[in-house]
């Protein structure tokens, strides 16, 4: 068992590889004391079974014990407040609703790849495909006018991304705050517009949803839903698409996906398993009461970091976990588990699938222009991905 408390973050051999410390801790102390970068003590959870237990156990909340924000109108709440919001949103934002968008998302992906091919190599895949496909999908889902989407992307990028080349003390907090206020203000205007001019979009459906027990979504709750989908939803899908291409062109697997729908679906799942933690980690959890996690006692109030990246490389669940094997059984945790399982999972899968299929059909010989280690990278508060991904063919 480790005798010293480790300090995060752990070093990585490369940007696409997990820290070796995760594998060591899984073997020796799957629930281990660590110190976060700001000096807070926490429990780091690295095994698949223990991570699943934390995410599925309502005794671990997304808010600190006794520290819930009464002004929080998002899904990042616990207990009855979270359950009510989730029921109302889930009533209309369903896998069936996303399935009805599959053809349109495929069309959008094909159009972006066709434009990229017509312009000729090289191209920045982030700017030419991943980001516009993601923001356009969110825009059409919510009924956001096409002319407004580029500005929404700029606001979201400012709010959620941090250039690792900039020291923390030099981050432009004022710009981030202004971008968030602008995004929230726009969302409130969109809600007001859809109240008076409803359409066939998700926002109009959310405004109209009503339940005898749960009532309706308030204006603040609707505004929070728009800002969450635009910011976190857009960026996460964009980053996964970009990182998926890095992996697939490096292994020569992209071209195989053009006429193999089952292999394409399995590849998306294996990409998600491999990239969890690089393109997203769940937010910290806090113990709301004393909990026994395996052989470790977690005290009420303790912070718990359930690492998806470590869980998805657990050899007890995924034999030879560092190999890319789409054919494997794949109960990965990329979208979490339990009460806070990602509501946008079906939409993200559809976008990633559409992007990879369009590239495989139109540009099967796609390759990276630069070495992986030379790709500029952006680390955000909840997500990370290439700032630009130059490709050629």
Instruction: Tell me the per-residue pLDDT of 327-343, one tens digit each, with 9 for 90 and over.
Output: 999 999 999 999 999 99
SS3 state at 31: strand
Cα separation, 61 vs 80, whole angstroms: 12
Give the tokens for residue 221.
Answer: 């709750």
Residues of the chain where predicted confidence (pLDDT) is lower than 50 = 1-2, 164-170
Q: What integer pLDDT is reported at residue 188 of this predicted model?
A: 97
Model pTM?
A: 0.94
Do the Cβ atoms of 287 and 269 come closer than 8 Å?
Answer: no
Q: What integer pLDDT is reported at residue 46 of this predicted model?
A: 98
Q: What integer pLDDT is reported at residue 171 of this predicted model?
A: 52
What is the helix (H) or strand (E) element at residue 298, kind and residue range? Answer: strand 296-298
Do the Cβ atoms of 123 and 116 come closer than 8 Å?
Answer: yes
Q: What integer pLDDT is reported at residue 173 of this predicted model?
A: 76
Q: What integer pLDDT is reported at residue 167 of this predicted model?
A: 43
Beta-bridge mates of residue 60: 287
Q: What integer pLDDT is reported at residue 379 of this predicted model?
A: 80
What is the helix (H) or strand (E) element at residue 362, kind and residue range? Answer: helix 345-362
Cα separation, 42 vs 92, whole angstroms: 37
Do the Cβ atoms of 378 and 163 come closer than 8 Å?
Answer: yes
Do the Cβ atoms of 279 and 239 come closer than 8 Å?
Answer: yes
Dihedral sign computed on CA atoms, order 160, 13, 393, 268: negative
Do the Cβ atoms of 309 and 22 come closer than 8 Å?
Answer: yes
Cα separation, 148 vs 93, whole angstroms: 23
Question: Distance between terminal CA atoms of the chain?
Answer: 50
Q: How many CB atoms neighbour CB 299 within 10 A?
A: 11
Instruction: Determine if the peptide bond prior to 122 is cis (ω within 30°).
Output: yes
Cα separation, 62 vs 286, whole angstroms: 6
pLDDT tens digits, 168-199: 444 567 888 999 999 999 999 999 999 999 99
Give the tokens for residue 30.
Answer: 């799957």
Q: What integer pLDDT is reported at residue 221 of this predicted model?
A: 97
SS3 labels along 107-157: HHHHHHHHHHHHHCCCEEHHHHHHHHHHHHHHHHHHCCCHHHHHHHHHHHH
Q: What integer pLDDT is reported at residue 69 of this predicted model?
A: 77
Cα separation, 230 vs 138, whole angstroms: 6
Count Cα atoms within 13 angstroms, Cβ side, for 26. 23
SS3 state at 34: strand
């Amino acid at each position: 068992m480790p005798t010293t408390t480790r300090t995060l973050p752990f070093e990585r051999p490369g940007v696409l590889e997990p820290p070796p410390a995760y594998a060591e801790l899984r073997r020796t102390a799957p629930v281990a004391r660590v110190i976060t970068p700001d000096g807070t003590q926490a429990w780091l959870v690295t095994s698949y079974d223990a991570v699943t237990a934390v995410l599925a156990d309502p005794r671990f909340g997304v808010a600190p014990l006794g520290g819930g924000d009464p002004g929080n109108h998002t899904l990042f709440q616990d207990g009855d407040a979270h359950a009510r919001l989730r029921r109302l949103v889930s009533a209309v934002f369903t896998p069936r609703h996303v399935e009805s968008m599959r053809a349109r998302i495929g069309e959008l992906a094909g159009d972006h790849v066709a434009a990229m091919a017509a312009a000729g190599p090289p191209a920045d895949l982030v700017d030419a495909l991943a980001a516009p496909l993601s923001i356009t999908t969110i825009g059409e889902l919510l009924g956001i006018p096409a002319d407004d989407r580029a500005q929404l992307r700029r606001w979201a990028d400012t709010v959620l991304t941090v250039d690792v080349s900039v020291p923390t003390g030099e981050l432009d907090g004022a710009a981030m705050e202004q971008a968030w206020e602008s995004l929230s203000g726009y969302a409130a205007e969109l809600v007001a517009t859809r109240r008076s001019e409803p359409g066939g979009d998700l926002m109009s459906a959310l405004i109209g949803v009503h339940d005898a027990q749960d009532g309706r979504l308030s204006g603040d709750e609707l505004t929070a839903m728009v800002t969450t989908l635009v910011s976190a939803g857009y960026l996460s899908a964009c980053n996964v698409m970009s990182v998926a291409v890095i992996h697939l062109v490096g292994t020569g697997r992209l071209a195989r996906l053009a006429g193999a729908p089952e292999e394409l679906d399995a590849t998306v799942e294996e990409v998600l398993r491999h990239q969890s933690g690089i393109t997203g980690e769940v937010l910290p959890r806090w113990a709301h009461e004393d909990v026994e996690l395996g052989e470790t006692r977690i005290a009420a109030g303790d912070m718990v970091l359930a690492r998806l990246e470590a869980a998805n490389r657990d050899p007890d669940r995924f034999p030879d976990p560092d190999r890319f094997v789409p054919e494997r059984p794949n109960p990965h945790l990329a979208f979490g588990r339990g009460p806070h399982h990602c509501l946008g999972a079906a939409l993200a899968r559809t976008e990633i699938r559409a992007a990879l299929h369009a590239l495989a059909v139109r540009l099967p010989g796609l390759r990276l222009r630069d070495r992986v280690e030379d790709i500029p990278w952006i680390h955000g508060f909840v997500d990370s991905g290439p700032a630009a991904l130059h490709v050629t063919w």
